[in-house]
Amino acid sequence: MKTRRVAIVGASGYSGEELVRLLLGHPGVELVAVTSRQYAGQTLAQVFPRFAHLARARELLFQEPDVTRLAAEAEVVFLALPHGVAAEFARPLLEAGRVVIDLSADFRLRDPAVYEEFYGHAHPAPELLSRAVYGLPELYREAIRQARLIASPGCYPTSILLPLVPLLRAGLIRSDGIVVNSLSGVSGAGRKAELEYLFCECAESLRAYGVPKHRHLSEIEQELSLAAGSRVTIQFTPHLVPVRRGILTTIVTTPTAPVGTASEVFALTGRIAACYADAYGAEPFVRVLEGKALPDTKNVVGTNVCELAWRLDGRTGRLVLISAEDNLLKGASGQAVQSMNLVCGFPETTGLM
């Protein structure tokens, strides 16, 4: 296995810290640079004591972000930066021939007008959008292998797209009337000191936010529309729950086939099961549950796995889909490393099992 030199820009956030953990333990990479303006000059071990037992963490210093230096030191660069900032680094790094894996939303959308609508400012590098590959390996594995610019999906979109896309592609559900409710841990808001995310504000409290137009809707509807072959608009309500990490998503859809009788329910059950088996039967990081089991965040936190389950409701004629994932791993850093493995020619599960 040829060792690749990798860097993380914005390594001090929650997703950045998870990237550090994964890459320090990855047998195919050498972590050569981590950046943070706040912690420049301090070692990884000083900022993240959990890594102090590792010699590399005691040696590697946080540095100010310098694109020229990063391009000289690393072959693959992860951008764990706020939206609108990542593009400033992506352009020169791509010009230098580096692989860029962006964890922000800067390159997830194909239409710069949609980006401006949802993110409130013009896209900083619209000429790069056509080069970006949406980094959901279960959907775009072969394109990711050839990509130089990978737009790693958001945490909510991953939990929504994995259950829905196979069914839309197979024509098993209607593309209208989809209702999604997601519950996310507080780490999804990022590592920042804001009143609404303080412990006393979040503990013993549940609340919806981003209603009715959360930013992630833009990439969710883009990818669902591609799967359905027509415009898809969904109702999406995210909620903040008092746990550190994890996302649980419940989706209500309408099957295209009738489910009014026991025989109709039986027939559709078989088609849905076959659809998911075909889509995910060989996938290492998607676990389709059987029997009475339902997704539970406690079973996926700390892993790169997304759990899925579904139930047909003959009484209402609806199909209910449920997923669970770790928002910082399959919803962010783990998925980004999964894409890196594909680009670098490593086994896809390397460093993630």
DSSP state of 43: B
Sequence-ordered list of residues with C-beta below 8 angstroms from that of 201, at least 6 positions apart, any chain: 195
Q: Is 155 a catalytic residue?
A: yes
CB atoms within 10 A of CB 211: 11
Please report, for residues 261, 269, 278, 289, 306, the alpha-carbon distance to residue 292 in angstroms, rounded to integers and kept in the order given.
21, 14, 21, 8, 17
Dihedral sign of CA atoms 332, 335, 341, 347 in order: positive
Q: What is the CA radius of gyration of the chain?
A: 20
Cβ pair 290, 314 in contact under 8 A: no
Sequence-ordered list of residues with C-beta below 8 angstroms from that of 72, at least 6 positions apart, any chain: none
Tell which phi-psi region holds residue 210, choosing left (phi > 0), alpha (psi between -120 and 50) or beta. Answer: left
Cβ pair 168, 228 in contact under 8 A: yes
Catalytic residue among 155, 202, 306, 344: 155
At 68, which amino acid appears?
T
Cβ pair 135, 337 in contact under 8 A: no
Give me the DSSP letters along 200-245.
HHHTT--EE-S-S--TTHHHHHHHHHHHHTS----EEEEEE-SSSS
> Three-state DSSP class for 330?
coil
d(CA 41, CA 24): 19
Q: For residue 260, give the nearest of 272, 252, 268, 270 by alpha carbon.
A: 268
Query: Which residues are the active-site residues?
Result: 155
